[in-house]
A = this chain, B = another copy of it.
């Protein structure tokens, strides 16, 4: 066939939810006004999908790896490297990378706010600039790169001989708990050395932050000071085959979140910067829709990722989650109106369920709908967790999605004769 078929995959982070008492036992998706999502369900084939496997709550990184067709259980090499490469920090083989938070602790190192009041990008940049000037003295063989990304988020890369990812997190991941000393997680020399380097660095970070004018200013304005860096998710760059090799496609990612950008970069995808796309509930989804339509002109596959729904869920903000689903719906309306549905497949899903009650990622399946020229349209007319379960895809796994899409656009190879 000489027609070039294309596919768009829209991932709304944590959009799936559980039925909520506050919504008369509807889910936010069920409660939202969503004509475009319903149109996709009605003209498409629907189902539910376990991002990794039934009951397993995935991270956004592992889920996105799976949704791009990789065996996440094998390929995942820790969050840190994704976060770093997604923020434009170069991670080389042998480097160990960490996801970091600017956070607020009291004098006894007890965590008061894990996100330092969701510190602004501006304040975080000034602090990061000062931190990057620090020199390691006890372990002068090693160097580090530190970069703030969005709000309280940052990436740290340690580079040097004999490093290991077998080190514990300093982030206790709970308010009211004390910041942990970083410990080697095995008996190796490498793990001990890496833990020592990190502890030296965290101590020096703390000293600089405590005295920093930005924090003095924050305290003056009643804002929690970003007086510590919490680290977690030691990782190396994963050894995965790029999508171009796997399927012979040109692929682009439109997403603001460094973690997701990192996964996509590891998969060999191009990354597009969209002005106004911030990964926050204030993100400009229409700008992303336009960028998606544009990117489709020169790519076989475009991944459009929206972080905001997950942020609302982690905050337990049900009203905001519904509003964001409705904003996503408008974004999809633009995409539907501006792509050629005679040659383009459009799939919409979430990377995982995030419960607005537990405020955590959960292992419940997510809805999936695929519309496009030759799908086996089913009877489903509404896009939500329960109605999609009645659809023609039945129940698939995240790792199946990419082969299904690539099959529809003629990019899978026959196995056998």
* Chain A residues in the interface with B (C-beta under 8 A): 1, 18-19, 25, 27, 48, 52-63, 72-73, 76, 79, 83, 99, 232-233, 259, 355, 357-358, 360-364, 374-378, 385-386, 389-396, 400, 402-407, 410, 412-417
Contacts and interface: CB of A to CB of B under 8 A. Distances in A.
A59 B386 contact: no
Contact of A364 (B58, B79, B407): B407
Given A55-B407, A390-B390, 14 more contacts: A1-B358, A25-B377, A52-B415, A54-B403, A55-B406, A55-B412, A57-B413, A63-B416, A73-B415, A76-B415, A232-B417, A378-B389, A389-B391, A389-B392
A71 to B, nearest CB: 12
A345 to B, nearest CB: 12
B416 A72 contact: yes
Nearest to A385: B376
Given A19-B376, A357-B374, A394-B48, A61 B362 contact: no
A56 B415 contact: yes
A417 B364 contact: no
B53 A400 contact: yes
B18 A404 contact: no
Contacts of A48: 392, 394
A402 B363 CA distance: 12
Contact of A54 (B360, B364, B400): B400
B364 A376 contact: yes
Given A19-B374, A79-B417, A377-B25, A404 B60 contact: no
A255 to B, nearest CB: 15
B53 A403 contact: yes
23 contacts: A1-B358, A18-B376, A53-B403, A54-B396, A54-B400, A56-B412, A57-B407, A57-B412, A58-B415, A60-B416, A61-B416, A61-B417, A72-B415, A76-B416, A259-B417, A363-B412, A364-B407, A376-B385, A378-B389, A389-B393, A394-B394, A394-B395, A395-B396
A362 B413 CA distance: 9
Contacts of A19: 374-377
Contact of A56 (B233, B395, B407): B407
Contacts of A396: 54, 395
A53 to B, nearest CB: 7
Nearest to A18: B374
A18 B377 CA distance: 10
